[in-house]
Amino acid sequence: MEAVFNAIQKSAKRIKEAIDTKDVGYSASQNSSGETQLELDIKCDMIIEEEFSKIEAVNTIASEEKEKENILHEDGRYFIAYDPLDGSSLIDVNLSVGSIFGIYDKGFGANRLVAAAYVVYGPRVEMVFAKDDVRLYLLQNGEFEFVKSVTLKEKGKLMAPGGTQQHWANYHKSMIDGFFKEGYRLRYSGGMVPDLHQILLKGGGLFSYPGTTDKPKGKLRRLFEVFPFAYVYTKAGGYATDGKNDILSLGFDGIHDTTPCFFGSKYETDRVKEVYSQNG
């Protein structure tokens, strides 16, 4: 696991460099979710693949930018699913982006997660690594330095409501309105990494990306995005649900499968479960 952790750090440093120097034109290709890839998406994907190729313990990788999984070392135990550059469409307006990693043992699946990590490329580069607990690291003078362990409070103050409102279910809209009436403040950039990072570090709140009339299974991808963040939030003392079930109990149907998702502290996610068990 140490080797995987090191490979993630090396990748993050190289990706930061690529973000700072690479031009951000669109490529001619689309990824498996039908989105046009940026040259930078492809470059970051390559960097991560290169770094994991050097680690014997990594059996198979699956990337948001690759159609199929890729076997690297048949005797390795870890299966790693990653989103090399989440929120890449925010690069050209200079908002924060991230990389997300789910580290699975002997096969993919939420119940096989043994660690998860993400990196935020913002004014500073930070990494959060969750295994037994959740740890924050800051890139300083070329090295990731441990800053602190992170835990969520029972109840937070921030609300990051994703998805297109026009397509929200009425009960979802009432639930979100209800939180705002209680005094929650809107914090939403459109990049799940900085949005979830902010809620995690400020102690709590709710990030939601529900199923909508146009996308009943939501937008966010289980293996690369949703399961890793569910692991981080759960280890930090919070919770992640698809509305009815614990995210960490869900299966998946193909590596690019999506799910509605809600991440937060206890108070807010309890409300989600209550509302969604009575509706939908």
Residues in touch with ligand AHG (CB under 6 A)? 35, 64, 83, 86-89, 162-163, 190-192, 219
- The sign one gets for the Cα dihedral 255, 85, 6, 127 is negative
Interaction partner, residue 191 (Mn ion, ligand AHG, none; CB < 5-8 Å by kind): ligand AHG
| Closer to Mn ion by Cβ: residue 57 or 192 | 192
Helices (H) and strands (E) in the chain, counts: 6, 15
**Residue among 273, 271, 259, 194 at smallest CA distance from 227:** 259
| Closer to ligand AHG by Cβ: residue 49 or 64 | 64
Interaction partner, residue 49 (Mn ion, ligand AHG, none; CB < 5-8 Å by kind): none
- Rounded to the nearest whole angstrom, what is the least distance from the CB of residue 234 to ligand AHG in the complex? 19
- Rounded to the nearest whole angstrom, what is the least distance from the CB of residue 190 to ligand AHG in the complex? 5
Sequence-separated (6 or more) residues with CB below 8 Å from residue 255: 62, 68, 69, 81, 108, 223
Interaction partner, residue 32 (ligand AHG, Mn ion, none; CB < 5-8 Å by kind): none
- Rounded to the nearest whole angstrom, what is the least distance from the CB of residue 61 to Mn ion in the complex? 14
| Closer to Mn ion by Cβ: residue 38 or 57 | 38
- Rounded to the nearest whole angstrom, what is the least distance from the CB of residue 53 to ligand AHG in the complex? 22
For residue 70, list its beta bridge partners: 61
CB atoms within 10 A of CB 13: 17
Interaction partner, residue 219 (Mn ion, ligand AHG, none; CB < 5-8 Å by kind): ligand AHG
Interaction partner, residue 35 (Mn ion, ligand AHG, none; CB < 5-8 Å by kind): ligand AHG
Instruction: Tell me if 186 sits within 8 A of 159, measured CB to CB.
Output: yes
Cite the beta strand spans of 40-96 per DSSP E. 58-63, 70-71, 78-86
Chain positions contacting Mn ion, by CB under 5 A: 64, 83, 86
Tell me the CA distances in angstroms from 174 to 105, 123, 136, 147, 211, one per residue in order.
40, 35, 34, 38, 15
| Closer to ligand AHG by Cβ: residue 156 or 163 | 163
**Residue among 126, 201, 192, 210 at smallest CA distance from 156:** 201
| Closer to ligand AHG by Cβ: residue 55 or 159 | 159
- Rounded to the nearest whole angstrom, what is the least distance from the CB of residue 2 to ligand AHG in the complex? 27
Cα angle value 63/68/69 (rounded, 5°): 65
Token code pair at residue 94: 């200079």
| Closer to ligand AHG by Cβ: residue 190 or 251 | 190
- Rounded to the nearest whole angstrom, what is the least distance from the CB of residue 88 to ligand AHG in the complex? 5
